[in-house]
Amino acid sequence: MYSNKNEGPRRGRSFDSMNIGFEEKLLNNEINKSTFTKIEENTEKKNTSEKGRATIIFSLKNEVGGLVKALRLFQENHVNLVHIESRKSKRRNSEFEIFVDCDSNHEQLNEIIQLLRKHVNVVDMEPPDNSCLHEEDMYDVPWFPKKISDLDKCANRVLMYGSELDADHPGFKDNVYRKRRKYFADLAMAFKHGDPIPRIEFTEEEVKTWGVVYRELNKLYPTHACREYLKNLPLLSKYCEFREDNIPQLEDVSRFLRERTGFTIRPVAGYLSPRDFLAGLAFRVFHCTQYVRHSSDPLYTPEPDTCHELLGHVPLLAEPSFAQFSQEIGLASLGASDDSVQKLATCYFFTVEFGLCKQEGQLRAYGAGLLSSISELKHALSGNARIMPFDPKVTSKQECIITTFQDVYFVSDSFEEAKVKMREFAKTIKRPFTVRYNPYTQSVDVLKDTPSINSVVEELRHELDIVGDALNRLNKQLGV
Active-site amino acid positions: 308, 313, 353, 372
CA distance 223 to 202: 31
CA distance 187 to 222: 36
Instruction: Name the nearest CA neighbour of 128 among 101, 98, 104.
Output: 104
Specify whether the CB–CB gap between 155 and 280 falls below 8 A.
Answer: yes
Query: CB-based contacts of 113: which residues, under 8 Å, 6+ apart?
Result: 56, 122, 125
CA distance 348 to 20: 57
CA distance 161 to 144: 24
CA distance 114 to 422: 39
CA distance 449 to 463: 22
Q: For residue 427, count other CB atoms closer than 10 A to its CB.
A: 9
Sheet containing 95-104: which strands, arranged edge to edge?
Answer: 80-88, 95-104, 52-61, 121-126
C-alpha distance across the termini of the chain, in Å: 52
Instruction: Name the nearest CA neighbour of 74 among 104, 48, 46, 97.
Output: 104
The three-state secondary structure class of 452 is: helix
